Structure 1
Amino acid sequence: MKIKLLIFNLLPLVFYAQVGINTTAPTQTLDVNGSLRVRGITQVGSAAAAKDSIMAFDSDGVVKYISANSIASSADPGSVKVATNSTLSGDGSTSNPLRIAQQGASANQVLTWNGTSWIPANQAGASNWLLTGNSNATSSNFLGTINDVPMSIKSNNTTMLEFGRRETLGLYESTSTLAPYNQKDASVSYVRGSNGISALQFEAGGASFYKPIVFTDTSGNFLMRGSSAGTDFFELGSTGTNDNGQLLFTIGDDGNEPMIFRKYNYSPVAYVEMMRLQGTGLDSNVRAGINMNGTTANSTLQVNGSVSQSIATISANTTLDETQFTVICNNSSNITVSLPNASDCPGRMYILKKNTSSGTVSVSSFINSLGTSVTSITTGVYQLQSDGTNWQQIN
């Protein structure tokens, strides 16, 4: 009966008490004040199952489980020592950090995984154009194509500029007799756009407006407009519609800007003004001057120099046109000089001179200096001008 009582009273000690070895005050279920040795350890079935099975002691000596990654991450930098193979170099210390070995790579090469191992390869910046720019470009590098296709530059998914052969770009005109449209192998820089028109504009910080631009319009005209003196502009190019083309020259803003034609002398170095066309304000009045040396013409036309007009001698019937001016009638028999209709050429002038006393010269009707309509001339000089209705003798 006493034995049973003893066993019964020990059961709480076996299941619920803290056992101490070499200590009278255990703090854990088993508190060993001394070393611990475990015999007959059973190995885990696989390395994968055992890689994180690490037993560690905390600062109070309590046995705990902790992962290998937690131990490595809590270590001081450079304190982890590793045994490296040919893929890695360094031992993980501060003075010799762990890194990938050279693996045969040279300057500007990187290591890439080929499915089996790391091998050297040229980095993208050594053979490609980068969005951030390239610092290792050489004279042999280029941006473009090596086959016969257009080199295209786009913005907003719209082609803005193309480079290529004329035929490759679809610009070759086999039936044209005008170069360079019929040169299929010619190199072309093709400015593209949208809606069939395009433009090429230039920066001009000193221009208030009318920024320089080369452009086309919907009628197929090609023009160049640019700034002049900050606030004025000039323009040259083509204009017109429906097979009614025109060549256009424009200068202005307030109507007084001149259009100057000049030449350049190499020696002595100088610009020489040849002709000046200039307005006189916001009206329809213009003046043209030749050899004006920088001054404005004092009349609609001012020529500082000689003027040459055509002169011809006739002895047979002649019809006058816009190519004649002075006509000398050197006839011995009767002839007829026909004037154009006065209404077709208002302001046009002719000078008729009869040299001989023999033979008559019949002329289209004109009003002589006495106000009489006559149809012939005798020896002498007659200066005739159209008033839009009749030919008038004005000398």
Structure 2
Amino acid sequence: MITTAPLPLYADLGRALGGATAGISPWLKPWDSGLLSPRSAWSLAAIASAISRRQGLPPRVLLPGWICNQSLWPLRRMGAELLFLPVRPDGAMEWETAEALGSLDMVVVVHPFGCPARLDAARDFANRRGALLVEDAAHCLMPGPGIHESGDVVLYSPHKLVATPAGGVIAIRPRAEAWADAIAEELGDMTMSPPEAANEWRWLARRLAQTLIPDALRPLLPQGGQADFASDPPTIAMEPPLAPSRLAQRLLDARDLEAEATRRRDNETALRELVAPLADLRPLFPAGDWIPYRMALRAASPKAAAERYRALRAARLPVETWPDMAPEVTADPCHGAGAVALRSSVLLLPVHGALDPKRLASAYGKVLR
């Protein structure tokens, strides 16, 4: 069945249930140290908390204006001062506007939907401010060209890209090794014990059911997501972070990442070919050898985006909007041409590795024409 959430493959289940050894080495380079975390939102908070404890003041954190507001809840809770840099229509951060911001402790750059962001200006800016440069690679399957090259710390969220109920990775580069113990201590202080095994097995049962249900039955099932293109889900208090369970770690470790990367590229290519003739939709990012998290499409106007979104939902096909943005961003006119314009024109389609490119193109092709 076509779903937004990644689904387990039988080969992965065989390796996981057969006692595969959990590890985070695919997300580390040989000279890195690494930590397993619940997810990237809590990883960011652990880094900020380490900075706060060392300097005795709330950290000042610079973020791209288009970052998801829900993911910032742990940062807000621990008292970090958040500043949002305007982005251009392609999502690149406007570094020339950052010079007037004063002192900063942490600079966060996001690789959106798996597409590598240019980090030359970010690295130079962080160096001049004496700030930690954090690469938010939560949308990236694994390190690759342009990803995991410039940051002091790199954050991954494998649970977003492979079928596992939880799991994030904090990769600490050699230049930030002095922070490793402090970040580990903060992460340990905030993370609770794993959930009961029964909860994990219920999660797995739901994913297996989605795997087994024929796609022809998808229109009969409950539909998640936002009913209206312009509406955002409310920001909610996040439950305390739970350490990934043994089952979650085994599922994380069992996935063949190279095979997942190939299938994601194949699925995105199929959707690119599908929308190529359309006048009102185009890929947000150019094709390349990077690994997509979602197929990001930009509509010619907010009206076109809303109409396409409505049509896809009417066909019961998975489609998402740009993540909810911070209220500081939506209230600031400086973000109107960048982050706000992206929110009002971008649609997201699934491309995860349990999908088949021909079936994906066939299903979406009935609507996107």
The alignment's TM-score, normalised by the length of structure 2, stands at 0.15
User: Greater relative contact order (Cα 8 A, min sep 6): structure 1 or 2?
Assistant: 2
Structure with a larger share of its residues in helix: 2
The alignment's TM-score, normalised by the length of structure 1, stands at 0.14
Structure with a larger share of its residues in strand: 1
